Structure 1
Amino acid sequence: MTINSPPITAGAALEALRAGFAAQAAGQLTASWMLHGRPGIGKTEIVAQLARETGSRLYDLRLTTIEPQDLRGLPFYDHETKRTIWYPPEDLPTGDAPAILFLDELTAAAPALQPTVYGLLQERRIGQNQLPPQTFIVAAGNTVEDGAVAYEMGTALSDRLLHLNLRAEASDWLRSYAVPQALHPSVTAFIRTRPDLLDTTEDALRRGEMIACTPRAWTRVSAILRSTDERMLRDTLVAGTVGEAAAAEFALVADDIAASVQAEAMLDADARARLEMYPVSLHGLTALVYALVALADERSLPAAIDTLAGIRTLAVHRPEPEFARLPLGELVTYGFELLIERALAEGLQEAFRSSQSYADYLAARESG
């Protein structure tokens, strides 16, 4: 069955959930939300991020691993009333604290479980166990077309949900996830220059390949790079994560970056020494930008601003002809957007007001 809602990025989905959470807290809208998206696109990360931002306790239920009775609880005989009562499970929210109930893998849940879930999604209760009013409900799942284990969602279930149809989009993923999570600069630089390789699930399914590139896979590649120094082992692990073809292309970029990017050393160097340390390739300069953003703190931010601004005039101050062909101005503008976001989040914006390098950059932009 087709998901006939417009595709949106993960960042836009998070914004929608933020608005929904605020509206429910204000008593204006109470709904159960459904995140549709391919495996590895970041559905779980979106919900976890919302929980962190709102200070909510996250109840994460993987519906493929539970039975109906796990949600209903256990019956107990009340001798005074001579009735059977139900003790609710600890996996459901209780009390007055804000909570997010995440029903993951909803479309892969056994059909026998779905009627039990109906009550949670619509009436916000199971049997006599009513969820607290401050519980925010989000479900997630894949479709049959994604190549995942999934059942078609019937109208009785879909009508109980507000649907968000996620798609992977490289610029959104870089800005909303990869940069805030400080993924390895080789990964962020590679996806910025090869955005088509962020998510290759559809192509992999068409070719009958088991391994595909996904946002989750690239996050794992970042962890591999940080934990594995031996090159042959690293390349084997990356290939087992994103596939042989993507891994071969990525290895060339990673080697170039490893050989040319010296972000930490550049932050500690004087202006003359720093000028000679800039990498010559676009991959190297892009990785340098992401590394500067990740390393920027109260101590290093002024040097990061100087280093980033220096990229703009490399074609003038360095003899290599490659710099004249690279989009240096565009790269610096993008880098300053990310660096300013980082500074605002950390309360370090004063460093920009006092930076002569940033003032020169602004003046050059205004003069055309």
Structure 2
Amino acid sequence: MIKNETVRSALSLAVRANLPVLLWGAPGTGKTSAVMALAEQLEMPIEVVIGSIREPSDFSGLPVIRDDGTWFAPPRWAERLSVSGSGLLFLDELTTAPPAVQAAMLRVVLERAVGDLVLPEGVRVVAAANPPGLAADGWELSAPLANRLVHLDWQIEAAGVAEGFAHGFAVADAASVAAPTSGQIARAKAQIGAFLRIRPELVLAVPESPEGAGRSWPSPRSWEMAARGLAAGVANASDEATIAALVIGAVGEAAGFEALSWLRTLDLPDPESVLNDPHAPLPDRPDHLHALLGAVVAHVHADASESAWERAWDVIARVAKTTPDVAATSARTLASQRPAGANLPTAMLVLAPILRTAGLMP
């Protein structure tokens, strides 16, 4: 069982990484209190929207006739968040929302769109739900909505409840949590992508039962969320349990445990050391080479210097001597990121046949 401290840390990371997150737990276990405390720590305004008392138009907007056409007017809570520029949208009692309301929530969770209003980038989405069997007039979560959320199981412990009575039910120090950088996200995506190359059947696996489809399961969208969760954990030097909670919360237990097990065996060299040392040892396994070159390209993109871009071609040329198909994938990405004024390095001559095959050279 995941400890509640881990879940609270994962919640803070998810919010900082702009991942829509759903807390599952029995009624009366402090989910709402924790989310309110999180908003207070982050000094964000919070809007609480309860699914059981809402209509589809509360998310898709009410049609209003104007001179230039029809405007789908957003509700007041969306307007307040828009004016604030940032905040927490807390969708409570999600499993009491009927299917029509859940369908209307889809654009809100994924695109932050409410009617014809697009919420600012600074708005984060957190939801809470009781298992349908414990909810008043509960519904299973629809598969499309479930696949847009990172699912965390809210736990209660006697010691934590006693501590909360004495000092308040606060989340882990959310104010000190850092958002992952674009480079860290790119590196995590490269690692997840390398894993999926050897386990392509896990790219998409929709559960057959409504109960399973209403929780986390693997899809291209949820794998991207898993990568962002992984990047957030790395950015904050989080422990393994917290990172696991985010990865499993995005893609489910079976796929998540397998990905985490593979990630533990990577033990890749630092991309910068590989760029600086032309004789640095490289992995033997093709999947590990994919992950390493992905990390190198992500580092070069974040660095954005001509020197790093040119040196990366030397690394790709080394890989091309043994595994040209692995080199071709990264060469395509690296070529598209050429900084203005960067010279074409001599290493590209070695790669000419590969680049022609990839359509990158005439």
TM-score (norm 1): 0.45
Larger radius of gyration between Structure 1 and Structure 2: 1
TM-score (norm 2): 0.46
| Larger RCO (alpha carbons 8 Å, 6+ apart) | 2
